[in-house]
Amino acid sequence: MNLVQPLYFQTGKFLLFFLSFLFISCNSTNQDNEEVEDDEPQKSYTSMVNPFIGTAPLTDPEFIGYTPPEGWRVWAGLVFPGSSLPNAMVQLSPITEYGTGAGYEYEDTEILGFTHTNKGHWNLCNIPILPVSGNAKAPFKSSFSHNTESASPGYYEVNLDDYGIKVRLTSTLRSGFHEYTYENETDRKILFDLAKANHGVSNWEITQEDDYSISGFQHVGGDKIHFYAESNVNIKKLDVQKMGEKDGYAILSLEDGKNPVSLKIGLSYVNTENAAQNLKEEIGKADFEEIKKRANNTWEDLLKTIEVTGGNEKQNEMFYSSFYRSFLWPALRSDVNGEFKDVKGEIQKKDFNYYTNPSFWDTYRNKLVLLSIVSPEVTTDIIKTLIDKGEKTGFIPTFFHGDHAAPFIAGTYLRGNSSFDVEKAYELLLNNAYKDGGPRPHIKEYIEKGYISDPDVKNPEVETKAKAGVSKTLEYAYDDYSVAQLAKALGDEEKYEDLIKRSENYKNVFDTSTNFMRGRLENGDWISPFDTEYPYYEYMYREANAWQVSFFAPHNMPELVKLYGGADKFEEKLDSLFTLPWNPDHIARNVASFIGQYSHGNQPAHEAPFSYYFVDKPEKSQEIIDEILGDFYGVGEDGLALSGMDDAGEMSAWYVFSAMGLYPLSPADPEYLVTVPIFEEVKWNLPNGKTLTIDRANSGRNLKQIMVNDEELKGYFISHDLFKSGGEVEIITE
């Protein structure tokens, strides 16, 4: 890599005991943890997670950077507070409004149902179920209060005030578990609102199997989600209104009684039989408390991978909430018997778990690196899934923009994970990089010209649709670098030379007369007029303005500094990025929350705060990083808003890495930029049994020296080898 050369929660015992006792009383214990002394209660990591962070809106125009138009909800957070296991098929969560990012918005006062899939991208929210009572009629919904609402990883509860029902939810990988306590012993009912989801439902069915069981499906887009559900009480009647139609629904009428109603439901993307098997294998005869305990233990095992000490209450909450949020996507799609539907819609059975595509444009930057370290087996299966899709289509799939399976796969391999067919992955990534019809639009123009042009548009607006040529050029150049690293590792010198040359294409959209990455016309002319501050969704830039993309060359930052005219001019430009005020007349829903022109509310500039390192001014980077960590997470009136859309965990993973003092600036490379952690100590309990600790020697925030295993580090990057061998990194500051 062509960069600068490589080369917590400390409180009194009483408070810790109280928190642990409260968690044990309300949320069950983690029986998998080692025994501890009676006066040293177990630390509960799940108790420090707040799933509601990211559900509240941004409302302060000063913080947003502009006054949102009436009726707008800035794209902040867009996360769900319900139950899920890491990378599970099921995310069981309340929905308060369809057609929104994750279906749940904290400011809402009514719950429409509890859905079983979620991501936060205006899709999914499948199989809505709502317990009702009495003579409930459409539109079905209930008011609720946050005072009776609580959540932790793998658990959610709330009171439905209109129906007098207490709802408790937990889940397994492929199944959900509902528990309803009705105030009234009669007229107990359950609504299956199968005509609704975040996307349009094309068809749905529901059938009563016996006195206690029902099954059916919901068809949304290319997905057909099958379910099989069992009640612990007799189903007196299944009343179906307008089966399969857009305004239809079904209601189960249950026998009268005092005891809580349990509804266990298995999902499958293959068939109903598999859904029933998933339910039987994962829940079976277990009761609610047992499944809830299992879910909690699973999250405890994951979260204790990283132990932090020395932070304050908010820092601890934000760290473990962000860590948790980083492991909810991609989502499992294969069943307990190994079957799944492949990219062609055929039922297959392989020796690995099948997953959805990662949200590459967002999460290649950091979250997928975190996943590869913490969950190598899941990472392997995700890559095997991508290869399986590639073998059937000719290309490794991408997500949204760019070709960022390249840094994910290359970086995973270079970090030592070779438990997949790397030769096949490489072959398919070459198809992506060279062939038309794949995940790189305009690849022919890119290869021929070294950049992607945009048309000459008169008076372009924020939502002008074009090629986003500058962003594509920058991202393809980085993707080329990533594939080049794989070529080098596999001994393909010819492709390495070609791709590493192409990785310099970012220079072709750098205008030295303005020192900005700037759009070009097909004939090579610079696009004019040129407003460096105006944000676009798809014209020249993807969800950004010129300021926000002009520091993106994570594989070649020293060369980028030279392009600007040297260290002084680069530093001056960076200073302007973080100080030039945002124009409040420039309004883009998902470009918000600014430090100068820098927007932490969206991904395109998330590497920029680290750029001062390349002019040997780490203290200036740290000042920006600390401001972001302190002021852009857990914000707003309730402290529950994020400064932008979490995008399947990318914003959360940014926090996790930056709070720990390591950042994967170039995720294709097996190394990490060292910053100053906000914690006194960070301890990684690695999958191989080794331990890596990061110690902050004092409370200063200006980086002065990095010691690795008692030897001074030359430069600012540590090698991923430390995650294999273990060791100690000491951060010395002033």
For residue 569, the one-letter residue type is K
Residue 472: pLDDT band with limits 50, 70, 90: very high
Q: What is the mean pLDDT of residues 725-732?
A: 97
The order of strands in the sheet holding 306-309 is: 306-309, 681-685, 691-696, 727-733, 703-708, 711-712
CA angle 358, 362, 365 (to 5 degrees): 100
Average pLDDT of 129-155?
96
* CA–CA–CA angle 221, 406, 493 (5° rounding): 145
Residues 91-98 have a mean pLDDT of 97
- Whether residue 134 contacts residue 128, with contact meaning beta carbons closer than 8 Å, is answered with no
pLDDT over 60 (residue 30): no
Q: How far is CA 318 from CA 328, 544, 678, in A?
A: 16, 27, 12
* 2, pLDDT greater than 70: no
pLDDT reading at 23 higher than 60:
no
Residue 34 in this model has a pLDDT that exceeds 90: no
pLDDT at 3: 37
**What is the CB neighbour count within 10 angstroms for residue 523?**
7
pLDDT in tens, 591-638: 999 999 999 999 999 999 999 999 999 999 999 999 999 999 999 999
Class of domain 77-302: mainly beta
Check pLDDT > 80 for residue 35: no
Q: How far apart are CA 658 and CA 677, in angstroms?
A: 7
Q: Tell me the DSSP string of 175-192.
A: EEEEEEEESSSSSEEEEE
| Start-end of H helices in 150-285 | 272-282
Closest by CA to 407, choosing from 100, 668, 67, is: 668
| pLDDT at residue 17 is higher than 50 | no
For residue range 505-520, what is the model confidence (pLDDT) as tens digits? 999 999 999 999 999 9
The ranges assigned to domains in the chain are 77-302, 312-452+459-678
Q: Does 40 score more than 70 pLDDT? A: no
CA atoms of 79 and 3, how far apart (whole Å): 35
81: number of Cβ within 10 Å: 23
Given a cut of 80, whether residue 31 has pLDDT beyond it is no
CATH superfamily of 312-452+459-678: alpha-1,2-mannosidases domains (1.20.1610.10)
Mean pLDDT of 70-96: 96
- Summarised one tens digit per residue, pLDDT across range 248-290 is 999 999 999 999 999 999 999 999 999 999 999 999 999 999 9
pLDDT tens for each residue of 546-562 = 999 999 999 999 999 99
CA nearest neighbour of 169 among 98, 252, 80: 80
Residue 407's closest CA among 554, 610, 543?
A: 554
**Tokens (6 digits) for 692:** 């890596």
Q: Is residue 24 scored above 70 in pLDDT?
A: no
Give me the pLDDT at residue 590, please.
Answer: 86
Give the predicted TM-score (pTM) of the model: 0.93
Q: Locate 667 and state its tokens.
A: 């995720």
Provide the percentage of residues in the chain whose pLDDT is more than 90: 91
Q: What is the pLDDT of residue 41?
A: 61
Q: Which residues of 580-608 are buried (b: 16+ CB within 10 A; e: fewer)?
A: eebeeebbbbbbbbbbbbbbbbbbbbbbb
532 CB-near residues (< 8 Å, 6+ apart): 514, 516, 545, 546, 547
Residue 551's nearest CA partner among 564, 542, 538 is 564
pLDDT attached to residue 19? 35
